[in-house]
Structure 1
Amino acid sequence: MLRPAPPSPTMFLALVALSVVACLDTVFCRHASASQTYDVVPPPVCKNHNGEVVSFIDSGSARPGIAAGMARRDADGKPIVLRSNYSAAPPVFQSFIDRHECAHHQTGDVDRLHPPRNGPDHLMNESISDCVAVLRLRDEDGYDKAGLDLVAAALRHEMEKIGFPEISISSRISNIENCFLKLGAPREYIERVLKRRGLLQP
């Protein structure tokens, strides 16, 4: 099945109340202490659904202590991912952020009409990008179950600090675990998404 299970009504209401998003916002953030820093990992290879190379750009430290990624096109129309304060997040989480934001380019989200923030279609886009991210970590970076557990633990830590209820946290982690264990190669998954959206290149 291509589409991950939609969020429960409780999860949806929690997300609306918190107004925390990933694509073009900062769902992946780390409120680290000012003294705790990490080495910044190199970005992954990323091309969008049209074959354009996506550039990863350090956008500086506008919000100290918070690491975040943002997928968009720049003023010249070039696809980019802005990386903010990555040294505030552990490497495993930096890698997850990068691949999640890249997925918004790979699946065409950035070039489509953005659905209402925190609405069902928006949350589905985020779930799909989560799937692509963990599949790439598994197949391209060699993450095993132990690696997945590190990603899940980092995600849980951040969501708890932001204030998500347990049902929201466990639902998202369950989606990631199901993708990691059951779905095929990331390219095949992305192609199915693009085909359904009418964006698959011949």
Structure 2
Amino acid sequence: MGRLNQDPGIHGILVQLPLPPHIDEDVVVRAISPGKDVDGFHPENVGKMFVGEDGLVSCTPAGVMEMLRRSGISVRGKNCVVVGRSNHVGKPMGLLLLQENGTVTFAHSQTEDLKEITKTADILVVAMGKPRFITSEYVKEGAVIIDVGMHRNADHKLCGDVDFEDVKDKVSAISPVPGGVGLMTVAMLMYNCVKAAIKQEV
């Protein structure tokens, strides 16, 4: 890792997670130079995101925000519910929504009355890791649904955390799986690579 950090010909470093059990993910991520951390997982980049400074932002949450912007969906003043609290998606997702003046609620595995909370959401971001868990009973009419989940069902087809077919006619917008957040994650990874390269060359 040290060699890659020092190599001027390499502008971005990405660690493919999850790592084998005998390798400490935190140690590896912290070993990456923050300026080359195109995943946006290094504590320095997380800290910059927290205080609103310019850094490399976690790709999936950044991709969700870009998706909302490009779709003309304003976060300002909206009730935003994030289902999931992982360090890589849930927590940064809530922070980015907050920075755009959304009113943010987190829900997770210990949340009571999950259905009642998700039904308050104007914008519902689901990153809970349970295939097709969120049905139409969990969403209010006209809500915007962002499905971050990625699973294979019994037929080996990709699906998300949201039951797309059950929910789609009740909401104003919903991201599909596949073809939704995953593509935006890759796009933001490329964005971070270019941003890192420009900063290193200046």
With normalisation by structure 1, the TM-score equals: 0.26
Q: Is the radius of gyration larger for structure 1 or structure 2?
A: 2
With normalisation by structure 2, the TM-score equals: 0.26
Of the two structures, which has the highest relative contact order with CA contacts closer than 8 Å and spacing of 6 or more?
1
Higher helix share: 1
